Amino acid sequence: MKCSPLLCALMGLAAPLAHAHISLEQVSAQAGTYQKLTFRVGHGCAGSATRGITVLLPEGVAGAKPMPKAGWTIATVEGALKAPLMVHGVAVSRAVREVNWQGGPLADAQYDEFSLQIKVPDATGKYYFKVSQVCEQGSAHWNEAPGAPGAVMQFPAPCSMWCRPPARRTSTESAEPVAPWHL
Ligand SMILES: [Cu+2]
């Protein structure tokens, strides 16, 4: 699969990028590498300030380490993996599945970023990160995957696309099967 940074963005054409939402800065990453992911929180919940976000990691992601953030406390939830993963040469069967930041408040009129490092899965494809946003009043769940072309998404899940490392690319890579959505 070719690394096409636009692919995730194109999926969201029906929901214009001009609308800030919660989105991922890194729309593409190389499969099998360690990668920083930054979730951008563009606004609150219908004008209410953000007090927390929870990011669910798709299957295949391991080694998640959130970056400490002043004014926010971090909690992680571990869980069993469907298939063991290699992290730093060691097979692991449990990993962080959920990362939560609580703090703020982050006013609706302001913008902030929340980062973590992950080990990107070896399997290429588009990966979706469901994000829950809790505000002083109300909440928002960014958990929609693209449906029919042109379908409007109100709360699209942040997306990133894993691509093969350049060194392993071959002229036949386009024939390689594309992994389905990983939610
Ligand atoms: Cu928005």
pLDDT per residue, tens digit, the chain (183 aa), is: 566 655 676 654 444 444 679 999 998 899 989 999 999 999 999 999 999 999 999 999 999 999 999 999 999 999 999 999 888 888 999 999 999 999 999 999 999 999 999 999 888 999 999 999 999 999 999 999 888 777 888 899 998 888 877 665 455 544 444 555 555
Number of H helices, E strands in the chain: 1, 13
Distance in Å, CA 84 to ligand 1 centroid: 36
pLDDT for 16: 46
pLDDT on residue 1? 57
Domain extent listing, the chain: 6-144
Query: What distance in Å separates the CA atoms of residue 112 and residue 41, rounded to the nearest whole number?
Result: 6
Ligand 1 centroid–CA 83 distance in Å is 34
Q: What is the pLDDT of residue 2?
A: 61
Q: How far apart are CA 99 and CA 114, in angstroms?
A: 10
Bridge-based pairing of strands 28-30 and 159-163 is parallel
Hey, CA dihedral for 155, 8, 152, 149, is it positive or negative?
A: negative
In this prediction, residue 67 carries a pLDDT of 98
Cβ burial of 127 (10 Å; 0-12, 13-18, 19+) is buried
Centroid of ligand 1 to alpha carbon of 46 (angstroms) = 9
Q: Which H or E run includes 9?
A: helix 6-11
Q: How far is ligand 1, taken at its centre, from the CA of residue 42, in Å? A: 7
| Residue environment code for 85-95, b if the CB has 16+ CB neighbours within 10 A, otherwise e | beeeeeeeeeb
Report CA(174)–ligand 1 centroid distance (Å). 34
Output the pLDDT for position 170.
Answer: 53
Cα gap 103→112, rounded to integer Å: 12
Q: How far is the CA of 143 from the centre of ligand 1 (A)?
A: 13
CATH fold of 6-144: Immunoglobulin-like (2.60.40)
- Indicate the pTM of the whole model: 0.83
Query: What protein residues have CB closer than 5 angstroms to ion ligand 1?
Result: 19-21
